[in-house]
Amino acid sequence: MTIEQAIDSVKKGCKAKFDSTVELHINTNLDVSKPEQTIRVSVVLPKGTGKKVRVGVFASKNVETAAANLSESDIAKISKGELDPKKEFDVIIAEPRFMPKLAAAARVLGPAGLMPSPKSGTVTEDVEKAVEQVKKGKIEIRTEPNAPLIHTVIGKRSFSTADLAANFGEVMAAINQAKPSKAKPDWIKSVYISTTMSPSALVDIPDLA
């Protein structure tokens, strides 16, 4: 199927009564046991994610657009299990000066995918701008830790086919740009689109060129 046909197929096949998320599943032949063959890249979806993003920030001054302004005492709460970051936040952004102390909560934040990182743009002096980008539709795309797979989102079922296709194109461009230097020419094996509750649709690889 072309991108547009695949999007139309999953939208029609979705039986959910809520506005379900449209997901992208990419199978690769990367050897993710080698750090140089993993992917971790950020991209701002041109049409947004359709989701209200809850951002927690560690900053020297309050950021009004954040869901919560966190402090060093919150790091201790996260470490002790008194604050569940996965329930409260979708993204955590921090100024560099907080990173040494945040290391104490890495065992909680890391597995939750919430540990701030310079690579993903979530460690920055300009926290306000980073929050703004996340709210506009910035997402992080990465290979799974133990499998050569990439799972990400491209919007909501209520989006038009054209808007979902635009987000899809931006994601694929970012992934291709982040292609590891030692990856094989045919490193992307298959690309599927699905919604939270629908059968998946296979996108033709030639259509990705």
**pLDDT at site 198:** 83
* Rounded Cα gap, residues 166 and 111, in angstroms: 30
* Rounded Cα gap, residues 115 and 113, in angstroms: 6
Q: What is the mean pLDDT of residues 94-113?
A: 93
- Calculate ∠ Cα 33-39-43, nearest 5°: 160
Q: Is the pLDDT of residue 207 over 70?
A: no
pLDDT band at 5 (very low <50, low <70, confident <90, very high): very high
**pLDDT at site 89:** 94
How far, rounded to the nearest angstrom, does the alpha carbon of residue 70 sit from its chain's CA centroid? Answer: 22
pTM of the shown model: 0.79
* Rounded Cα gap, residues 130 and 68, in angstroms: 14
* Rounded Cα gap, residues 156 and 121, in angstroms: 24
Domains (ranges, CATH) in the chain? Answer: 3-50+137-208 (3.30.190.20), 55-136 (3.40.50.790)
Beta strands 55-58 and 201-203, pairing class: unpaired
Q: Which of 105, 109, 115 is nearest to 140 (CA)?
A: 115
CB 173 within 8 A of CB 3: no
**Tokens for 177?**
């740009």
pLDDT digits (tens, 9 = 90+) for 145-199: 889 999 999 999 999 999 999 999 999 999 999 999 888 888 999 999 999 888 8
